[in-house]
Amino acid sequence: MPHPTRVRHFFVAEFMHTSITQFFAAWGETSAETRESMLSACLSDSALAYTDPRMSEPLSAAAELIDYIAQFSQNAPGWIARPVESTHSDGTHTVTVSFEGPDGTAQMGVYEIETDVEGRLTRIHGVKA
């Protein structure tokens, strides 16, 4: 039988990857209800910090981030956020994301992401690539 710690670690690692993928998939979701459900499932309830180059103030609550991503969806219809590369070191995932428009336009971004023990996102810091 596998060692319980290893099984737990594998489960958490898989969930972390899923949370990050789900977070960026939500950016292109057209249904507000589905987008909110996706984000609620992958964001931490208790602690959250979000920044990116387009913001003047950081966000500190899941509801604020859900609203921010809804604004992106409204202002950039048809755009998606697609992770293209990811590394993990010392508890931080570094994810390169391609924001892609329906006309083929793309803008790259890099996010440093930390998670809680359940794999839910707690700190998301975006910079331009």
Q: What is the pLDDT of residue 5?
A: 38
The contacts of residue 19 (CB under 8 Å, 6+ apart) are: 41, 42, 115, 119, 120, 121
Q: For residue 47, how many other CB atoms are within 10 A of its CB?
A: 15
Q: What is the pLDDT of residue 11?
A: 37
Query: How do 49-51 and 121-128 pair as beta strands?
Result: parallel
Q: What is the pLDDT of residue 10?
A: 37
What single-letter DSSP state applies at residue 17?
A: H
Q: What is the pLDDT of residue 8?
A: 36
Distance (Å, whole) CA 62 – CA 50: 9
How do the pLDDT tens digits run along the chain, 129 residues long? 444 333 333 333 444 468 999 999 999 999 999 999 999 999 998 889 999 998 899 999 999 999 999 999 999 999 999 999 998 888 899 999 999 999 999 999 999 999 998 889 999 999 987
List, in order of start, the domains of the chain with CATH numbers: 4-128 (3.10.450.50)
Predicted TM-score (pTM) of the model is: 0.84
